[in-house]
Amino acid sequence: MASELVSSQVVDSALRSALTQFEAAADRLGLDPGLRAVLRAPKRELIVNFPVEMDDGHIEVFTGYRVQHNLARGPAKGGIRYHPRVSLDEVRALAMWMTWKCAVVRLPYGGAKGGVVCDPKRLSQRELERLTRRYATEISPLIGPDSDIPAPDVNTGPQTMAWIMDTYSMHHGYSIPAVVTGKPLSIGGSEGRPEATGRGVTYCVREAARRLDIPLQGARVAIQGFGNVAEYAARLLHAQGARIIAVSDSRGGAFAPNGLNPADVARFKQETGSVVGAPHSRRISNAELLELECEVLVPAALESVITEENAPRVRARIVAEGANGPTTPEADRILHERGVLVVPDILCNAGGVTVSYFEWVQDRDAFFWTAEEIYSRLERVMVSAFADVWRMSEQHGVDLRLAALMLAVSRVAEATLTRGIYP
């Protein structure tokens, strides 16, 4: 999402939020100081500065990052984002969250993240390809099907992954589809991957609503964002009878108290470039959307949009985090005290990495599953993980975020202790 969803403090606050959350979980678990230090620090960080020839022949130098936070439970896994505000601190935070996310849903992965500082909206397709292939070459010492498997993230998608896979394969002399996930179906992608994160959000909303005795039929849902995650969540929740009262993008939001049809909004955005002005809606800001009266709020844009300043005005009963780190620690405390149930990002949006894992397994076996098999397996994973987190919350009297973090950190800590400290 663009500038109105991103403040100058976002990058710093993302890392601060990640570290604050980790320390809270470590305190509750009583982690040994040495083990705490191991789990707190990224294992590897790579910064690359690389030239790209632009369409008019001039050369620009871009900066990229790849951070591996932890490898105790398996190869690193995490997306690559293209955004003008990507920074090392932001990538560190996202890599840490990926470690916990994989552990919450019991995937045999550690966490990683990557990014390139650029504005992809100002680059041509050929420039994006050259940038991607050079970035892939620069980070190739780290990535691989047994070491670190990238995936799409903000402003990247199946085509980006195809370029990375092809570049990596060319260096090795044969095709290696399992080096990335989120690829097109034609080169080893998985059924169900594009909608996986939104589908996972939907399962978590359903499970949370069931435990709070909120019928999904007719429930008012406001969704900040209308990218991949938000659009699929909107479509799937709408199909279950929920009333999608608002969606947004970088230009603003569309609000309709009687409900929007996500398919109609998607067509309108494709035609006009924005959801603003969608039929039978009125324009609102992204800030106003967060404060609408509703049963479910899905922040599915970027980090730190629910803060200490606006948390007292959030009127949803459930906040389902489709984005990574949309709620600051101060806002978490306020929402918890007000009785708002926050389904944390490391659980709520884990559908994407779960189906990425399925894709990786299918690539390595050269045997592919049907969409129905993917959906069924994903639902089992998400429902089981939600139940684990809910039990941890009840057992320890903590909110779902701290419960999820305690569960994840304890699993990574156990793996670290079991493996031992080399040498």
Q: Shortest CA distance to 66 belongs to which of 97, 38, 85, 94?
A: 94
CB 357 within 8 A of CB 111: no
Secondary structure of 60-88 in the HEC alphabet?
A: EEEEEEEEEEECCCCCEEEEEEEECCCCH
Task: State residue 419 phi and psi, 5-degree precision.
Answer: -75, -30
**Where do the H-state alpha helices sit in 41-185?**
88-104, 125-139, 158-172
Ordered strands of the 220-224 beta sheet: 282-284, 252-260, 243-249, 220-224, 296-299, 318-320, 341-343
Distance CA 227, CA 199 (A): 14
Q: How far is CA 215 from the centre of its chain?
A: 26
Distance CA 294, CA 267 (A): 25
Distance CA 198, CA 202 (A): 6
| 113 is a catalytic site residue | yes
Tokens encoding 285: 């800001």
Distance CA 350, CA 39 (A): 20
Q: Which of 113, 121, 183, 269 is catalytic?
A: 113
* Residues sharing a CB contact under 8 Å with residue 191, sequence separation 6 or more, in sequence order: 185, 368, 369, 370, 371, 374
Residue with tokens 């980790």: 22
DSSP, res 283? E
Determine which helix (DSSP H) or strand (DSSP E) holds 337, and give its type and residue range.
Answer: helix 329-337
> Which active-site residues does the annotation give?
113
